Chains A and B, each alone.
Chain A
Amino acid sequence: MLRKLTLETISLLFILLFVYTAVSKFLDYENFRVVIGQSPLITRFAPILAIAVPVAEIIIALLLVIPRYRRAGLYASFAMMLLFTTYIIVLVTLSERVPCSCGGVISRMTWKEHLYFNICFVLLALLGMWLHTKDKQLVHT
């Protein structure tokens, strides 16, 4: 029961996070598209990423909502958060002036806060994946 509840909470947290950031990116799309280009890592891919990132976030949120695809959703969330985390680490070491375009209140975080926040979510996704596998095993036995 507790396992189920934890899993639900983790999924809900990810859904909230991804929907919130994706929507705030779309609402402020014009700005997002410009600011994302300021990052030296992704200048060349900015026009594609400006659409791909929020769309991917929505898709992951949908995967998490549908029970059949939850496992895929959790894996995708883990991958996404890991991607963001490595990106932050590389960006901070690479460039003297770092812009941020994460969306909504999340943009207000400092780089340290960002890093801790992301690591928390990476761990949450790991926990979710583990719980989900356990769940499946129980059903099968």
Chain B
Amino acid sequence: MLCVVGCLALVLILYAFADKPNDHKNGFTRRVPAVTAMFQHSLTLKYPAYYIAGYTNQHIYLGNYSASLHLLAVNQNLQDTQELTLKISPEERYAWKLTRVMVDSPAVYMAEGNTPALYRGKLDDLMMDRFLSQSCFFNMLQNISTTSFISRSIHIDSLGNSQNILAKVKTDSPYVKLGKSILTKQVDGIFCTDGTLDYDKQTGKLVYLYHYRNEFVTLDTNLQVIYTAHTLDTNARAKIEVAHMSTGISKFSAPPTYVNSRVRIADNRIYVLSSLLADNEDRKTRQHNEIIDVFSLDNGKYIYTLYIPLKGEGRITDFIIKGDQLFALHDQTLNTYSILQ
């Protein structure tokens, strides 16, 4: 009995000393009342581990982290699904767990940055052929035209310091152009610069949003910075601790303060999926909603906040905005919401 009480007490003491996310005031406010998205349709997918690969006027395409050649096409009201399989020569060797599929109709790309390997095909026949063999290593890739991509790669300088940088990869010479000093190092260069990237076809602009600090960078397709802007919260510097181990691998040695998880651009606006609660929000808000802050693509100014009500399927892993519809992926569930204001 004493044992039981002792154990419970010990864990409770640990709990009392723990840093709980969103427990203390985060020091910023959101514009209230927020706009709440209207839930429309839901579709439970057959497998877990999907991500959004792209969309056309009629369909949304989902790729799968655990099946590199699998592609699922879903129509706008989630009524009709179609399972597709990319066709690739059996001799091709690539790290299938790292591949990502990108759909940019009528083309479809498959990229894997550790080999590196890049394949291109057409949506109507799905025959994938090797493409852009003059590429560089990358850990993120975004296609911006039929002949060029923006990659995030690890650059090692003459002193041996490694850091994430953005680069432009093209089919013609000079195949790779480095965009130095776009991503800025704060702690270790790799983790502290981690983030998400999205490209807006309409305006030809890219936004890179950091995960661990309140900052995003808007660029043009030549990797020229248009402006740097800030998300609402106060984390100007990444609050992370990184340990470098003798095996050459680096790992977090304390729980990182995760600020922003995903950026998407649509209709001249930047949508930022945030992890932090504002001081003027109820503590339960993030238990029942996903919070998206909306910024202007022209100048990075805050416009309003969007709440996406959760239906018990877990947090949003990825989302896109298409007209006045928001498609939210929760690992194995795809939901649509109306975000008409």
Contact = CB atoms under 8 A, between A and B. Distances in A.
A83 B11 contact: yes
A30 B245 contact: yes
Given A31-B245, A31-B251, A75-B3, A90 B15 contact: yes
B17 A44 contact: yes
Contacts of A95: 21, 255
26 contacts: A30-B246, A34-B251, A34-B252, A37-B243, A37-B252, A37-B253, A38-B253, A41-B11, A41-B15, A42-B14, A43-B255, A44-B17, A46-B253, A78-B3, A79-B3, A79-B7, A82-B4, A82-B7, A83-B7, A83-B11, A86-B7, A90-B15, A94-B15, A94-B20, A96-B21, A97-B258
Contact of B255 (A40, A45, A75): A40
Interface string B216-247: 00000000000000000000000001010111
Contacts of B21: 40, 95-96
Contacts of A65: none
A75 B7 CA distance: 12
Nearest 5 A/B pairs, CB to CB = A37-B253, A86-B11, A34-B243, A82-B7, A79-B3
A45 B14 contact: yes
Contact of A39 (B6, B20, B255, B315): B255
Contacts of A43: 18-19, 254-255
B10 interface: yes
Given A31-B245, A83-B10, A38 B3 contact: no
Given A34-B251, A78-B3, A97-B258, 16 more contacts: A30-B245, A30-B246, A30-B247, A37-B241, A37-B243, A37-B253, A38-B251, A40-B255, A41-B15, A43-B18, A44-B17, A46-B253, A83-B10, A95-B21, A96-B21, A97-B255
B8 interface: yes
Interface in B20-40: 20-21
A131 interface: no
Given A79-B3, A83-B7, A41 B18 contact: yes
Main secondary structure of the interface of A (DSSP, over half): helix
A37 B6 CA distance: 23
A106 interface: no
Contacts of A75: 3
Interface string B295-317: 00000000000000000000100
Contacts of A42: 14, 18
A119 to B, nearest CB: 14
Interface string A75-87: 1001100110011
A78 B6 CA distance: 12
A34 B245 contact: yes
Nearest to B315: A96
Question: Most A CB atoms within 10 A — which of B14, B21, B251?
Answer: B14
A90 B18 CA distance: 11
A40 B254 CA distance: 7
A100 interface: no
B292 to A, nearest CB: 17
A86 B6 contact: no
